[in-house]
Structure 1
Amino acid sequence: MGYQEVFGTTFAGKTVLLSGGTGGIGLALAKGFADCGATVIATGGSEKRLAGAQAQARPNLSFERLDVRDHDAVRARFEKLGELVDVLVNCQGVARPGDEWDEETFLAVMDINLNSAMRLARAAYPGLKARRGNIINVASMLSYLADPTVPSYTASKTGIVGLTRALAHQWGADGIRVNAIAPGYHKTEMTKPLWSEPEAADRIAQRAAAKRWGTVEDLVGPTLFLASDAAGFVTGAVLPVDGGYHTG
């Protein structure tokens, strides 16, 4: 049974702003919310990706540029939305394997992956409070494991877990829920060097309990659940969606 059969038009009348929504996991989530009735604004920082994503646009799914590193731009975007925000999804993220031991690169990755999640959450807060909305952050299996080739990615995704919990407690009295999903190895452009190499791909699949790689579609249902009223008493939680990889 697909997520559309489960959730139907659950999100009709809801507005979702999804950062990092022009490709990979973010695009799949944006389409998932739109399929279930939401009006989705998917943002990205890359003009090339934005151009490619425009082919996926529809009346309730639009794409626009937003530099999540720019405090003023982020604040202005949410001021324009006003109270029309029910769900904020922080899916923005980059990794620079092998380069993150350089301090400048480390800090740049940290700003996009972690600092911007706080930046967007703070800007979205008035609207989320008015609508008793919720935030879904995207953590990672590297929130629990370590990869020495990406120290900033590992640290930032670990930080997402702490930020999720802190925001949940800070804003819980306002009716705002804050949760996260933690993807594992899913077939995206970021992981292509691994899944396109048979030996590495098989080694990763065999560690997972599910004995396969994930797809971006595997992340849609769990995200929709956390954002829905069905998860009305779930907050401060991080849901691993990794086929059991990190417990292997």
Structure 2
Amino acid sequence: MTAAVAFDFAGAKVLVIGASRAGIGAAIARAFQDAGAEVEITGVEPNCAPQDADRFAYTQLDVTDTEAVKTFARSRSSVDVLINCAAITRRGEEMAPDFFSHVLDVNLTGTFRCAEVLHPALSKARGRVINIASMYARFGSPKNPAYGASKAGVEQLTKSLAIAWAQDGIRVNAIAPGFIVTEQSARARENPDFTAAIEARTPLGRWGQPNDIVGTALFLASDAAAFLTGACIPVDGGYSVV
């Protein structure tokens, strides 16, 4: 079943923060566009991935720059769906306090900045927010302590915004991906023993692909999830239940 058959987002304005590279954000953006939505993406890079250059309106945006985020939001008066995907990690280097703080600024505070400044636009559309958390929100991560802490914060932020913004008709949910094959996970996947251990523990026996996340995103943004808010749904091939 294609995204266009399963969900109809014709006329919806969808904004994906952090979709410039080949990964979860870009896959979600393509799926919403295939389902009829008008999709805009952002990223910290000067340009988005070449394969998406002709598909989406793209804005270079640093989510740690409060004034830049505010300026970006001013020209967007109505947003039906906001997906917060912007995130960084650097396996094995996150014990340095300054870098630890930077990871939190991008992954957690950046998610809040974007959601907060777009609150009026989301309120106008009685929109939906989908934050990308991680299974590391619930597991210890000796090589990625900043990433894990930031994603735990994203899950908690999702719950808090769901309560705060329910009166505005805004639903706020999150997705917690497991081990996904992306540019961000490339460094970890250089270790064949680590890769094999993940596959051995995952009941479905493989790493996920970015497209494995899009069905959950489309569902959370649709009327099929009209009574769902404050949830964080794991999409990890069963890794978290072992």
Relative to the length of structure 2, the TM-score reads 0.95
Amino acid at match of 2:60: R
For 1:79 and 1:190, how far apart are their aligned partners in 2? 30
Is the 1:177–1:234 contact (alpha carbons within 8 Å) kept by the matching residues of 2? yes
For 1:199 and 1:100, how far apart are their aligned partners in 2? 22
Residues 37-186 of structure 1: pairs in structure 2 closer than 5 A: 37-47=36-46, 50-51=47-48, 53-58=49-54, 61-82=56-77, 84-186=78-180
For 1:187 and 1:195, how far apart are their aligned partners in 2? 8
Amino acid at match of 2:19: G
Amino acid at match of 1:113: N
Instruction: Give the corresponding residue for 1:192.
Output: 186
For 1:149 and 1:199, how far apart are their aligned partners in 2? 15
Residue 197 (structure 1) shift = 4.2
1:240 aligned to which of 219, 226, 234:
234
Determine if the alignment matches structure 1 residue 28 to structure 2 residue 31. no
Q: Percent of aligned pairs with the same residue?
A: 44
Secondary structure of the structure 1 residue equivalent to 2:230: coil
| Deviation beyond 4 Å, 4+ runs, structure 1 | none
Instruction: Give the corresponding residue for 2:224.
Output: 230
Is the 2:81–2:129 contact (alpha carbons within 8 Å) kept by the matching residues of 1? yes
Amino acid at match of 2:236: D
Residues 160-211 of structure 1: CA distance to partner in whole angstroms, max 9, x if unpaired? 1100000000000110000000000111112223435443222101211211
Q: How many residues align?
A: 241
Amino acid at match of 2:15: L
Amino acid at match of 2:146: S
Secondary structure of the structure 2 residue equivalent to 1:43: strand
Secondary structure of the structure 1 residue equivalent to 2:108: helix
Determine if the alignment matches structure 1 residue 5 to structure 2 residue 30. no
The runs of 5 or more residues in structure 1 that have no matched partner are: none
Root-mean-square deviation over aligned CA pairs: 1.4
Amino acid at match of 1:16: V
For 1:162 and 1:194, how far apart are their aligned partners in 2? 26
Amino acid at match of 1:44: G
Residue 229 (structure 1) shift = 1.1
Is the 1:114–1:160 contact (alpha carbons within 8 Å) kept by the matching residues of 2? yes
Is the 1:54–1:63 contact (alpha carbons within 8 Å) kept by the matching residues of 2? no
For 2:155 and 2:133, how far apart are their aligned partners in 1? 7
Is the 1:54–1:62 contact (alpha carbons within 8 Å) kept by the matching residues of 2? no
For 1:42 and 1:230, how far apart are their aligned partners in 2? 24
Is the 2:86–2:106 contact (alpha carbons within 8 Å) kept by the matching residues of 1? yes
Is the 1:113–1:157 contact (alpha carbons within 8 Å) kept by the matching residues of 2? yes
Residue 236 (structure 1) shift = 0.1
For 2:189 and 2:68, how far apart are their aligned partners in 1? 36
Amino acid at match of 2:140: A
Relative to the length of structure 1, the TM-score reads 0.93
Residue 55 (structure 1) shift = 3.5
Secondary structure of the structure 2 residue equivalent to 1:178: strand
Residue 123 (structure 1) shift = 0.6
Cα 1:194/1:98, change in 2 over 3 Å: closer
Cα 1:198/1:98, change in 2 over 3 Å: closer
Residue 4 (structure 1) shift = 3.2
Residue 144 (structure 1) shift = 0.8
